[in-house]
Structure 1
Amino acid sequence: MSSLAQLSKLKISHLHLLAQLCGLPVPPKATKAARVANIVSGLTLASLVPAAPCTVLAIDIGVKNFSYCAASYASLQAPPVARVSRWNKLDLHAAYGSSYVPLLLPQSSVDSRRYLNHLCVLAANDLLALRPDVVVMEVQRTRSNNNARTLPNVLVNYTVEALLHSTLTNAGLVVVPMHATSMASFWINRFFKKASLARTKLASSTKAWRSLLVFESLLPSGAVAMPGFAPASNLLASKKAAALLSHLAIEPAAANKIDDLVDSLLYNLTISAQLHNQHLLVETLASEGDLVRFICERNAHQVRMVQVLMDRYELELAEEFEGLVG
């Protein structure tokens, strides 16, 4: 039976869950046929990226707070373990700005754009030296919430994203854009009842959730391998964050921006998990396996990754995920 035929037998709710697992979201009001077609076409991504071994580069965009995480995976067809090879946060001005030679004046319209291009080309050259097989890059918001003070920064970050995307794509890499909300939803938000999340003292800060996920769950679980970094389990997340900055030789002044580092790792882990799910789905379709069981097993795996947060904050699973774990 063809993949289209097998997927067409699923309910729309199951197709929605399947698309989330594989990083292939579709508009909420899309028809069933459109959802099926989106999944089938999206699975092409797994064939474009080497499965074994694979190096993933994840980038959290910023000029003063530019973070990236490169990790190698022995295989994306087996449960992926990220072996971090480079995890860094830097100020693009400080790293690459001093070598810029203006044509007119640094503040001129000619030089302001030319300067950003200079920063991005040099940054891209260093990133390409890591020899990634796939790049996942944070998508910048294009709104400033009508705040005139934040609009210039929003536009600069948007420009940096476009320049880096163009440079890396022209170098022959597969670049996958990813929204922060999609990344957070893959790991946390989609699993829990909104009222349950709202009751916690962290309800207003998704960044705090993401930091806890990394330091309290993903690093201790072995999903991330970082030789030489093993903070005591009884340390507060803030102390673990300070230990991480020290391990990475990043200035303590960057501590208030640990969330950028955290996000670059999470983008890396998200795309690797989604590609792993894609490979497993391709195998399941080829063997005409039980797709509903596949969906339940993969979501159960994700829920187990956040079990420590669920227990600590007494979070309640959303109805569609109840019963996945004991």
Structure 2
Amino acid sequence: LPDGDITGVTISDTEKRMAFYHNGSRSPNNLFAYDFASKDVAKLTDSLNPEIDPADLVESRVIRYKSFDGLEIPAILYQPHGATAENKVPAIVMVHGGPGGQARMPYNALVQYLANHGYAVLDVNNRGSSGYGKTFFTADDRKHGREPLWDCIEAKKYFGSLGYVDVDKVGIMGGSYGGYMVLAALAFKPEEFAAGVDIFGVSNWVRTLQSIPPYWESFRKSLYTEIGDPETDLEMLREVSPLFHADKITKPLIVLQGANDPRVIKPESDEIVEAIKKKNGVVEYVVFDNEGHGFSKKENEIRAYKAILDFLDPHLKGSKSG
């Protein structure tokens, strides 16, 4: 089997066979059966869209780089076909949600779409990501907008070490908490990235933390511990909220938002877009009237991916997408 995640392992009652799902960077979830006696593996499904040529997809690989303070940061690297020192490509630093999520190696349609259109992608597990122990997981507590962001700045520097990336054409992209990191990067490190893609990201931590519904009580407590309590940490939260520093955003930005998002409510995006427009900044805004926190409808996902590419190509390639 190629590299990837194995999940849903089930052993038969006779203990002679095992079923499991495999999800790799070039193939979505497929069901397999394994015979313990013969050690034969049988692939039972083929879930990749038949219109997609697997040869057009790229393998991912785990890399690690040193951050500003020497901390080792894991990440998943995608190198597009044809990227060489003679043919340098633009690139995207991708930031996961959470804050305590984790970038992994399974099939990622958006990343493959970007790679297929000539973008290198580095899916970063900045400090605070899960899967690397408690010390790493808590290393971002009450440091948002600073150390975790600086890990992403170092990701751009890592791109420079590869030889096939044009470091003047590196953007940053993320959803939810990753969207916050995009806004933080453009507001607090405005010269680092050439463009940003914010997918339903937090712009104002004060409002977000105050608007958590009662049925997310346990989630509220954990966020207050990790990010801050709006009752006692108001100034700190304003300091790390991009909305209050939108005047520093000078690079092009696209914002995608679900109108019915209960977690990152629509005003989070409305107000950052409005603030940038007031300063005559370059910002595009795409609202999905029938979506919440994420994309549940395929037609919206397709529309979102096309909007992202149509935005990135002029700003990172200097051309319109075809």
Task: Return the TM-score normalized by structure 1.
Answer: 0.29
What TM-score results when the alignment is normalised by the length of structure 2?
A: 0.29
Structure having the larger proportion of residues in helix: 1
Name the structure where strand makes up a greater proportion of residues: 2
Higher relative CO (CA 8 A, sep ≥ 6), structure 1 or 2? 1
